[in-house]
Amino acid sequence: MEEPIIILDRATYKAVKAMERQKMEKWINNVYISGLNDASESGVSMEELQNTISKVEGIDDAKLKAIMTAIGDLYKSKAKK
């Protein structure tokens, strides 16, 4: 996945440069939350993933269940970190 190019305009740069620590923390948190929201909107649900995988030729119900279990385990291990 290609990383988006972030352009910092001069007005924003000057505003950030002039911020006190608390105001900058709040601004950074808002940017972070905005990124999380954008990422969650573009994600794929487990149901969509399962439906797509089930259409692959040669994937029977048992193999599909094993694949979905492996993907679920991966998500759970990433969530613990």
- Dump pLDDT digits (tens) for 53-78: 999 999 999 999 999 999 989 888 87
pLDDT tens readout for residues 19-40: 999 999 999 999 989 888 877 7
- pLDDT, residue 53, reads 94
- Residues 56-59: contacts with CB within 8 Å, 24+ apart? none
Quote the Cα angle for 49-36-7, to 5°: 115
Q: How confident is the model at residue 1 (pLDDT cuts 50, 70, 90)?
A: low
**Separation CA 43–CA 75 (nearest Å):** 13
Nearest C-alpha neighbor of 72 from the set 39, 47, 53, 46: 46
**pTM of the entire predicted model:** 0.49
